Amino acid sequence: MNALGYGRSDLADIAAAQMRKLIHVSNLFATGPELELAGKIIAAAAPGDSHASFEAVHFGNSGSEANETAIKYARLYAKTRRGAGHHRLIAFSNSFHGRTMGSLSLTANPAYREPFEPLIPGSEILQFNDVPALEKAMDGTVAAVMIEPVQGEGGLNIVSGDFAKALNSLCRKYDVLLIADEVQTGLGRCGSLYASGIVGLEPDMITLAKPMAGGLPLSAVLVPEKVNDLLKPGHHATTFGGGPVTTAVASAVWDILNEPAFMAETRRKGELLESLLAAEIKETGMKGEVLGAGLLRGFRFHDDKYDGVWCSRIIGEARNEGLIILKTGADVLRLAPPLVISDKELKEGVNLLFKVIKKNL
């Protein structure tokens, strides 16, 4: 959320200035900050060699809302182009796309799903990075495939090159919309504006949220012309999404994140964090691996002893020492520091974490 750190007076000043001008207006009208931000997003290069040409940005308030919107648009596109019955939605094991009904239907974790079943009909969870399973499932009845380039909550698994290639090819073959959920991975977190380009995905739609407005609630769906042309008044709306205050702040955040020097520093820090974790794992004498990309990193030890219960204990003890980390997947400790973190702070954080870990080996 706070990719640019906490207590940013520059962003607070922008929000305050905009609030003195205009806090809210009906969604029947566009505002200057909203149009400015949308223009910047559209002008930015598409990830990789994407075949999609993004024509519009549809704002919302959260990542779940962005994914829900993308699902709706995909079903509208498939029904309009191919008729009723072409509504299947595909996601993957260990995925997390949100907790509203549509996004939850594409979230794999049974603990989130089961209390609210039955979920959206036609939703399917396939094995992540399994090309044969994907080939078997794909046909013209599929409306969309939704995938995270790096699975933020599911263990920091990265889309393989072969899987990305298969996804791109099969989605084009069957005119299926490929949706990249970049709520956790986008906007510099993995060392690039979009992580899709890093792994080779060529999405038709991209969803963004968490760090977008410096801690204020804002999300976005990047929409291609072929989808945007089908939308009519009433198909989708939001009361507060894309409001003048959040978009004014987000425009400033966007400018910072898109500075080439800033993004280069983010990549360098990601490499530093990876090397620090690898060195500490080696020093323990345990077998383990560093996962993730950029400044979305984690690690696990290859020993059943160090399971989710052990991870929870480490998280609690680290918090008592002043370090906030999380668990992702079954047994991965995750670190996602602000992108503005210093080398000194990275080293201090990793040292503190492994001080706690070494007491619990």
Residues tagged active-site: 96, 181, 210
Interaxial angle between packed helices 260-284 and 343-358, expressed in degrees from 0 to 180 and rounded to the nearest 10: 20
3-state secondary structure of 214: coil
Distance CA 358, CA 233 (A): 59
Judge residue 44's burial from the number of C-beta atoms within 10 Å of its C-beta, 0-12 exposed, 13-18 middle, 19 or more buried: middle
CA distances for 358 relative to 273, 284, 314, 350, angstroms: 19, 7, 10, 12
> In 3-state terms, what secondary structure has residue 290?
strand
Which single residue is written with the structure tokens 């090159």? 161
Count the residues in the chain. Answer: 361
Strands 205-208 and 219-224: antiparallel
181 — phi, psi (to 5°)? -85, 100
DSSP assignment of 43-79: HSPPSTT-S--EEEEEEESSHHHHHHHHHHHHHHHHH
The C-alpha torsion from 127 through 112 and 158 to 73, rounded to 10°, is 80
DSSP code at position 127: P
Are the C-beta atoms of 321 and 356 separated by less than 8 Å? yes
Return the ∠ at Cα 267 (arms to 261 and 273), rounded to 5°.
135
Q: Indicate the residue type of 86.
A: H
Distance CA(84)–CA(86), nearest Å, equals 6
